[in-house]
Amino acid sequence: MSRIFWGYLAKDVFRLWRMLLFKYTEKSKKLSLLLFLIIPLSVAAQQSNTLKSKSDTVFTRVSGVIADAVSGQPLPFISIRFNGSDYGVNSDKMGQFTLSAPGSFTHITFSYVGYQSVTKVIKPGQSNKLQIRLHSSQTQLKEVSISSGKNKKYRNKGNPAVELIQQIIDHKPQNRMESSDYLQYDQYERIGLSFFNLSPKFINGRFFSKYKFMLDTTQKINGVKQTSLPVFFSEKLSQNYYRKDPSKSIQILNAQKQINIIKFVDTVGLDIYLNRLYGNNLDIYENNIFIITNQFLSPIANHAPDFYKFFITDTIQTAKGKLIAVSFTPRNKGDLLFEGKLLVTMDGRYAVEGCELNVNKQININFMRSLKIRLDFEQYPGGRYYLSKSDVKADFGITRNKGLGVFGERAVFYSNYKLNQPLAASFYQGKSLQTAANPNQSDTSYWLKHRTDTLNPQQAQIYTHINKLESMPSFKKLTWIASTFTGGYAAWGPVQIGPIGQFFSFNNQEGARFQVGGRTTPDFNKSIYLEGYAGYGTKDKQAKYDLSTYFSLNKTAPYRFPNDYFKISYLYDVDLPGQSFSINNSQAALSSFHTGKTDYWLYNKIFTVAYVKDFENHFSYNLSFRNWNQQAAGTLVYQLNDANSTIVHNLTTSEFDIALRYAPHEQILQGTQQRHTIYSKYPIFNLQINHGFEGVLNGSYSYTNIKANISKRFYFSQLGYSDVTLLGSLITGKVPFPLLNISPANQSIAYDPDAYNKMDYLEFVSDHYVGFNMTQSFNGFFLNKIPLIEHLKWREYLSFKVLYGGLRNENNPLYSKGLYQLPVGSNGGNSTYALGNTPYVETGAGIGNIFKIMRIDVIKRYNYLSHQGISPYGIKLSFSPDF
């Protein structure tokens, strides 16, 4: 292979030398001057378009525009070559090209990976104008191999393609824009989502007949023309600023326009999630690229040759110089790797001038049918290459090849780059994400003037169609039904009834529990929000309730970011000790089923006054006063360790609490009931301090409880990621066991990543502890390589949890008077113990992505096995569809 490569190179060097030698003779200088003067006059004076020099050398010239056959969008970086020659150029970012060369050429070919090549007949020795339409190729990129009669095993050693990739890797700092000290550029972003593979019965049915005007019959997906239904379209204009040292990135949103008919998915920040899904920052020069919520290894990562196979598949001669086309494919088809093609400059810089990234159908990503990424680069004066356009197309569906699907495209255009032109130092002290005044621009003329790309006819009609759709009463009713089931609340004017998932549940204390609740919306009042529920248990025959009033200072609902409100609430409900009201808050189906006996319960009366404040940098604090009265229930008894074993019917505490949270660079997806953090590499810090006041509103004890934890996701490229949490707590003061740290346990059959899954409820108490939790997800890295198993797309998980702490003598009822006796189990029930010098340890091994939604974990507990009712092994289930 190396002989072939160097043979081509030597041939091209000789040809270049010969041309240079001819060019600088005295005769050629005169000839060049005559050509410069005579050719324009000759073309204007003659009807024939024949191009000749004075020495009768024939030139063939072809110019025109190349566009996508379906969308009509101009196609940059298309390879154009005269057949049988080394003369070629690439189209510019507007799809325009001009190729002129000496010779009588009769055919010209247009090609690019991902598109079907087109060869056109042209008039030799004349000027030709062409309008070219290219069709997407439906074929996957095949592995290219070179052999000499026998199949040769692929090897990195001696492979000129790998040597070329190594040159690209070595020259990355020299070529990428982000290596400069300061950088500025403008950005135009467009995201669209459409449903496709719609059933003909559905399209032609009576129900959909009134909505047919929404259909787009021209969209081409994976090379096939599809009838699609646009549901989301967004445009944004931004300015970006980057400083290398100290590192700082600032993005200022100047204008945006968005329409969305899937508003029933009540998730504020959907565009943030879509950006992450379709590649928020596609930097091929980084070792890893985040897309489809996963981390893909770049084909030019520092260790890419260990995971990819590389092949030199073509050489292209352009006006700017030679380009080498390098194809690549994963060594293992199931890993999170791309396949595609790179175009690399051979000017000594070894820069990537264009690339296409695809994935094969064997990759271990759920619901994804195809993914195509195209990146185009242009050279900045001085040598560095900047990204001029990124285009990501992906479609998803429940099944791999048929049925309803979702097609999305995110196209970003970059322009007006400025290198090493720093602004004032104070500018870089600003927020990373900023928004200009009045960014919502609905004026059509504004976007015609400012967008750096043009919309095709179908895209241009989306705004008009959706505005018409949203005014239709039938569509409003349909949206109400969909939002009720997906968001969990049924809107009734300014009031929402729900959550509907909590209408019914079951546990052994209450029996069957029925609950109904609701809350007000901004339509009721933008500053005052009411929320509450009422529940009843058929077994304990007790009514429960929660009443809350929020006073919003920023006129934002308390379930939206950012919070800035006062809250007053009163709650009466049942709960498990140490579980932070998990039964009432989650109501997950699996949480209604438990292993072992669960007879320890509490009835709580809690009055709370709080102030909650979120800052845009995702630092937040919560100041609250809480008066908490708790009454033991079930087999749980509060009993003093005095001579008479006095029963305590009520325990009352009055606390002032401070909770601090900091999540730098956090991105969130806001649902109807809670926020969902979009996982990233940045840590999240939490600190909580609770101080109890004895004698205040019947408070019985004085104490301070300090808790802290740090959680972070570590990414390991092809080896997946680890979620790690460090936690600790310290209690000062003398308190009975209900006020100690009750280790979070889990006796339900559902797996809980934040609890100890083989620990019983109220099994351990402590007044100081440190803990370490880790879950490693390998994303199928090992299972993908096992024959037969690899086709199941299963994923491996390992977990490790350790808790180390203790109980001081002053808080241990065996050594100190005036405390409550620790519960003693009976009839198979669990007992309560002080966490000893031996750390609690449990590990787990799991297989996930079973049927794309289920995960099974086998948990092993290593110590304290002599405790009543304890078994060392257990099985936990969880259901969570994920990409």
Q: Are the beta carbons of 125 and 58 closer than 8 angstroms?
A: yes
β strands within 615-737, DSSP E: 619-634, 651-662, 668-670, 675-677, 684-692, 703-715, 721-732
Tokens of 759: 């620990």
More confident residue, 385 or 11: 385
pLDDT bracket for residue 111 (50, 70, 90) = confident
CA distances from 458 to 65, 195, 230 (A): 21, 15, 10
pLDDT band at 528 (very low <50, low <70, confident <90, very high): very high
Mean pLDDT of 851-872: 92
Q: What is the pTM (predicted TM-score) of this model?
A: 0.76
- The pLDDT score that the predictor gives to residue 694 is 96
pLDDT interval class at 3 (50, 70, 90): very low
Contact call for residues 252 and 238 (beta carbons, < 8 A): yes
Residue 237 confidence (pLDDT): 95
Please state, rounded to an integer, the average pLDDT across all residues of the chain: 84
3-state per-residue secondary structure call for 359-382 = CCCCCCCCCEEEEEEEEEEEECCC
Q: What is the pLDDT of residues 807-833, one digit of tens each?
A: 999 999 999 999 999 998 765 556 899
With a CB cutoff of 8 Å and minimum separation 6, the contacts of 882 are: 293, 366, 849
Terminal alpha carbon distance of the chain: 39
Average pLDDT over residues 630-654: 92
Closest listed residue to residue 184, CA positions, set 238, 237, 250, 240: 240
HSE-CB for 647 with a 13 A CA cutoff: 6
* C-alpha span between 654 and 660 (Å, rounded): 20
- C-alpha–C-alpha distance, residues 388 and 416, integer Å: 10
pLDDT at residue 505, rounded to an integer? 86
Q: Which of 136-145, 535-544, 575-584, 597-606: highest mean pLDDT?
A: 535-544
Residue 128: pLDDT band (50, 70, 90) is: very high
Q: What is the tens place of the pLDDT at every residue in 684-739?
A: 999 999 999 999 999 999 999 999 999 999 988 888 899 999 999 999 999 999 99
Mind listing the pLDDT tens digit for each residue in 312-356? 988 877 767 788 999 999 998 888 899 999 999 888 889 999 999
- Over residues 830-849, the mean pLDDT reads 92
Please tell me the predicted confidence (pLDDT) of residue 800. 97
Output the CA torsion sign for 593, 594, 599, 600. negative
Judged by DSSP in three states, 570 sits in strand
Please give the sequence-ordered ranges of beta strands (E in DSSP) within 84-126, or none if there are none: 88-90, 96-102, 107-112, 115-121
Give the angle subtended at the CA of 96 by the CAs of 95 and 99, to the nearest 5°: 130
CA 663 to chain CA centroid, Å, is: 16
